[in-house]
């Protein structure tokens, strides 16, 4: 059952995964000087995001800001796609009548979505770090601890995904109120990135969102 649902989710989202891979590829090309997107000037504006090829990787190269935008967009699109598509196609009526607990459907969906986001978004960090660690590429020492802030952002991106999923799942009369969970998740990330909120808050916030999704999945009408 889990396998069948995982395969279904992967098939429905592969296009988005491919788009995310392209976006990360573009970012890496800009930062490392590879391929057609190579940036020959010290700083470059790629879609209004400043990156600096000659900066110290993960410190002042602009990686984090660009990474947060690309991964955030990926997480939002993923969450909305997984929840809104089923509503639009009225396939919840088909899916949720399969003899399996309702929470299991939603937790499997969430597990697939969060795993995909974590796996895909870990690749640019790993590739960029590997490039930065290779002697001759950057005229500065490299420590793996320099990737710490990038990994923190990476760890928070599924939260935005959960916020988007809950927004897509939650029926509301107005789009503005429907998007409240997404706004809340973005604010939680903002509190950590810009205001130094403790990482210890992350686990309870994750649990809160997962719990809210399970309750919403059980309580809402599928009409």
Partner 1 sequence: MSDAIATHRLTKYYGSRAVVRDLDLCVPQGCVYGLLGRNGAGKSTALKMLMGMVHPDYGRVELLGEDLDRLSPATRGRIAYLAEGHSLYTNMTIAEALAFNRAFYSRWNERLVEQALDFFALFRRTRIGRLSKGERAQVSLLLALAPEPDLLVLDDPTLGLDTNVRHDFLESMVHLIQRQGRSILLSSHILADVERIADRVGVMVEGVLRVDCPTDEFKRAVRKVILEFSGVPPELPALPRLIGSVQLGSRQELVFVGFGPEQESILAALEPSRMEVLELDLEEAFIEYTRGPRRRRLALSEELTT
* Choices 18-26, 84-92, 145-153, 166-174; region in contact with partner 1 by CB under 8 A: 84-92
- Using the minimum distance from each CB to partner 1, give the nearer residue, 101 or 211: 101
Q: Within 10 A of 6 (CB to CB), how many other CB atoms are there?
A: 15
Does position 98 bind partner 1 by CB under 8 A?
yes
Does position 101 bind partner 1 by CB under 8 A?
yes
The token duo for 6 is 């995982």
Choosing from 10, 22, 59, 90, the residue that interacts with partner 1 (CB under 8 A) is 90
Q: Do residues 119 and 71 touch, judged by C-beta distance below 8 A?
A: no
We find the least distance from the C-beta atom of residue 3 to partner 1, in angstroms, to be 7
How many residues sit in the footprint of partner 1 (CB under 8 A)?
23
What spatial distance separates the first Cα and last Cα of the chain, rounded to whole Å? 25
Of 159, 7, 142, the residue nearest 68 (C-alpha)? 159
Does position 12 bind partner 1 by CB under 8 A?
yes
**Phi and psi (nearest 5°) for 45?**
-100, 105
| Helix/strand/coil percent split, the chain, to 5 | 70, 5, 25
Choosing from 34, 47, 50, 94, the residue that interacts with partner 1 (CB under 8 A) is 94
Helix (H, G, I), strand (E, B) or coil at 198: coil
We find the least distance from the C-beta atom of residue 210 to partner 1, in angstroms, to be 21
**Residues in contact with 26: Cβ distance below 8 Å, sequence separation at least 6, in sequence order:** 37, 46
Choosing from 3, 48, 194, 204, the residue that interacts with partner 1 (CB under 8 A) is 3
Does position 92 bind partner 1 by CB under 8 A?
yes
Report the interface residues with partner 1, using CB under 8 A.
Answer: 1, 3-4, 7-8, 11-12, 89-94, 96-101, 219, 221-223
């Amino acid at each position: 059952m889990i396998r069948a649902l995982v395969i279904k989710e992967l098939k429905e989202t592969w296009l988005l995964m491919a788009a995310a891979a392209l976006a990360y590829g573009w970012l890496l090309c800009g930062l490392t000087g590879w391929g057609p997107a190579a940036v020959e000037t010290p700083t470059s504006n790629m879609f209004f995001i400043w990156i600096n090829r000659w900066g110290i990787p993960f410190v002042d190269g602009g990686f984090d800001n660009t990474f947060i935008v690309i991964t955030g967009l990926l997480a939002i699109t993923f969450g909305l796609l997984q929840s809104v598509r089923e509503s639009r196609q009225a396939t919840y009526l088909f899916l949720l009548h399969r003899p399996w607990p309702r929470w299991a459907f939603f937790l499997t969906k969430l597990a697939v979505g969060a795993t995909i986001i974590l796996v895909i978004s870990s690749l640019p960090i790993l590739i960029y770090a590997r490039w930065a660690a290779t002697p001759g590429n950057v005229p500065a020492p490299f420590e793996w601890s320099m990737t710490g802030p990038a990994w923190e952002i990476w760890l928070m991106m599924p939260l935005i995904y959960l916020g988007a999923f809950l927004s897509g799942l939650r029926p509301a009369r107005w789009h503005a109120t429907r998007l409240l969970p997404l706004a809340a998740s973005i604010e939680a990330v903002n509190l950590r990135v810009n205001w130094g909120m403790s990482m210890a808050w992350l686990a309870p916030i994750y649990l809160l969102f997962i719990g809210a999704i399970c309750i919403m999945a059980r309580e809402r009408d599928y009409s």
